[in-house]
Chain A
Amino acid sequence: MNQRVLPHNYLDREKKEERRALFWNFTASLICHLIVFSVLIFAPGYAKGKKPSLSVINVSIVTLPSQGKLPLPDKKNAVESKKPLVTEKKAPKISTKTQPKNVSKPSAAVSLDPKKKVKTSLKKKTFKSEKVVKSAIDRIEKKVDESRPDEIKQALARLQKQVEETGPKDLKNQQNIKSSGIPGGTGSDSKKVLELIDIYRIEIAYRIQKNWAFSDQLAGGRTDLEAWVAIKVMKNGEIKDVWFDKRSGNSYFDEAAKNAIMKSNPLPPLPLAYVRPYCEAGFHFTLSGIDK
């Protein structure tokens, strides 16, 4: 009996296995999708990495306060400074707004007629084509009017807020701000601050390199050694933490790299405009220069 039942059981198992396989395939694909979406949602770093090239406006936002701050330590001064800011960049756009508004009104009336007459004859079409073109231009201009003023207003509002927020601090630290040239920095959203922190990282890399002492003879003449080391730098430049993301496998090489970092402690303070309490930087130590 058992021998007869077994093949049926086998078939059932096959079906079950097929279902299981389908189920697992489905769950695997679901997991992959979820991972991808979760990475996209929770890791804005990727999106930010691409955006800066598009968000040119951010650059102008940062550059504006730097020009405006030095003469504008007070709120009153800040209000005065808004006018030149607007006239410098957005004034031509505002002047165009007034003209299209007048033109747009007739275009709206014209646009209604063609719709009905297009069906009747081609002559009428060609006759009113200029008006159609005009109406199209009017529409585009309208859109421009609708969108750009908002952006300008938003930008101005941001500027106002920034000036209000940073104004009192500037009063206290006028000298520092003048010397640093980064007044009104808004932190990680600012491209200029990003550039500054990058420059800072390169500066500390140079300092660490100057403190890197390594005898290639002691490493047995090996030139293929590489170590990835990262550090956490506090606002005052103190190195709070050093860790290896990847060791070279040669203890002397790794120690020499770590010693170079420790010799550089303390590093210069972080840029004033850098809002975060600390900065992380990674260094890739190699011996590529030894052969040369």
Chain B
Amino acid sequence: MRNCWIKIFWLIVIMSFWALQGVARAGYDYIDISHPFLRKIPIAVPLFKKVSSGHETDQLSKSAPDLLAETLEFTGYFKLLDREAFLVNPQTDAAFASINFHDWTSIGAELLVTGGVLVQDNLVEIELRLYDTFKEQLLVGKRYKGRVEDERKIIRRFCSEVIYTLTGDRGIFNTKIAFVSTGTGNKEIYICEFDGYNPRQLTHTKSITLSPAWASDGQWLAYTSYAKGKPDLYIKNLRENRSYVVAKKGINTTPAWFPNKFELAATLSFSDDPEIYLLTGTGKIIKRLTYNKGIDVSPTWSPDGKSVGFVSKRSGTPQIYIKDIDSGQVKRLTFQGRYNTQPSWSPKGDKMAYSGMENGHNNIFVIGFDGQGPIQLTHNEGDNESPSWSPDGNLIVFTSTREGPSRIYVMTSYGTDQRRLLVLKGRQTEPKWSPRMVNK
């Protein structure tokens, strides 16, 4: 009995302490903080330390960090801090070898990238480090060796490491954008880097070329061309001199590659009714995907390949529909607006971007498959069309006439940070973001 009472006593004591602890916790109330002041990570990229001397070292110690800052800022994740605010001279050891992190946290930097440049006989060695300034921790450090001309490649590789360290995703630094431009007087397909760098003409058809579409491996590009007087489908290998043509009666247009397969969907009208078909990479018909009198065009595959989105006029106005390949069921996705076209399925599979017309102007919308939206991403700035997702799903490339002629712009998937990608002669339309290039 004594033991029992002792146990009860201790139980009471323990429970009382537990109860009091709960009360003590409630000693302060919680104040809600629900709006991040800055929706980006403040990052500091000081000039790189010159390890060697010479003109090239001087130049690289400035151009490389500028390029790094520019490339990181393009992702929309970061807020670059002004170098004027830095408390440290990058040419001293304090900025590179032994870092006083307080110098960086006191100016608000949460991340810091330092670098050192060594140039010898046109060969460059760049060491780059990413630090978490609050944890005072090295997150990633790499040393690259190459030619001086490889500066951009080196910087992009390190940016890819930075994004991978922070997000677990390789980012967009190995991607390209295909688009249509009238720079030569004809509509031709061009390709540029993800940030608009190095645009070059791909096709020389001297006619109308439209609707570029990247295969999952980034090695094949399909497009429609009027080279033979009518819209035919061209399937071109970008590395080898190989190509296939689908030139059936009627129109052969709006290709969309099946994910991770050498197959693609396209709109063919050889039966007088434009319908979507599944084709092999060489242009042979595998099966018909849509069955409806009226136009069915612009297919876009879900990332798992189990569904295909497309535009149809079956309800009277152009709207976006989704077909489940296995069950054959078709359901309408868009109900707002009377003219919704150019669907683009997000790489994460949760959203569809499209172009919708309201009050005589086209704008970019995003609708979620969980019932969210549609959310309008562009507002009152000319016509905004042809959305295409970046492979990481964070950015959308599109065309806009906000500055007069149609140009290519990029924004985040939330519609923020809208900026022009490049300026070329003529009008640029129909941008398509490539998947990540494997062996670049």
List A residues at the B interface (Cβ < 8 Å).
27, 30-31, 34-35, 38-39, 42-43, 45-46, 201-202, 205, 208-218, 221, 228, 230, 245, 252, 255-260, 262-263, 280-290
Contact = CB atoms under 8 A, between A and B. Distances in A.
B33 A39 contact: no
Nearest to A228: B30
Interface string B8-47: 1001100110011001011111111111111111100000
A39 B19 contact: yes
Interface of B: 8, 11-12, 15-16, 19-20, 23, 25-42, 76-79, 105, 108, 110, 134-135, 166-167, 394, 412-414
Given A34-B16, A217-B413, A287 B31 contact: no
Contact of B19 (A38, A282, A285): A38
Nearest to B78: A215
Nearest to B375: A291
A212 to B, nearest CB: 5
Contacts of A260: 33
B139 to A, nearest CB: 12
Contacts of A257: 33
Contacts of B167: 218
Contact of B28 (A42, A217, A259, A281): A281
A201 B35 CA distance: 17
A263 to B, nearest CB: 6
B108 A263 contact: yes
B414 to A, nearest CB: 7
A289 B34 contact: yes
B103 to A, nearest CB: 14
A67 B34 CA distance: 39
A282 B40 contact: no
Contact of A284 (B12, B15, B19, B30): B30
A139 B56 CA distance: 102
A267 B32 CA distance: 18
A282 B108 contact: no
Given A35-B19, A284-B31, 8 more contacts: A31-B11, A43-B23, A211-B108, A213-B39, A214-B36, A284-B30, A285-B33, A285-B34
B41 A215 contact: yes
Contacts of A205: 31, 33
Contacts of B76: 215, 217
Which of B33, B42, B413 neighbours the largest number of chain A CB atoms within 10 Å of its CB? B33
Contact of B35 (A34, A209, A221, A280): A209
18 contacts: A27-B8, A30-B8, A39-B20, A45-B23, A45-B26, A46-B23, A201-B28, A213-B79, A213-B110, A214-B38, A217-B414, A218-B77, A230-B28, A256-B36, A258-B134, A280-B28, A282-B31, A283-B31
Contacts of A201: 28-29, 31
A104 B37 CA distance: 69
A39 B24 CA distance: 11
Which of B27, B31, B78, B110 neighbours the largest number of chain A CB atoms within 10 Å of its CB? B31
A31 B15 contact: yes
B134 A39 contact: no
Contacts of B33: 205, 208-209, 212, 257, 260, 283-286
Given A27-B8, A31-B15, A259-B110, A213 B37 contact: yes
B25 A43 contact: no
A259 to B, nearest CB: 5
A38 B21 CA distance: 12
Contact of A31 (B8, B25, B412): B8
Contacts of A258: 134
Contacts of A46: 23
A265 B108 CA distance: 11
Nearest to A197: B28
Nearest to B27: A280
A287 B16 contact: no
Contacts of A31: 8, 11-12, 15
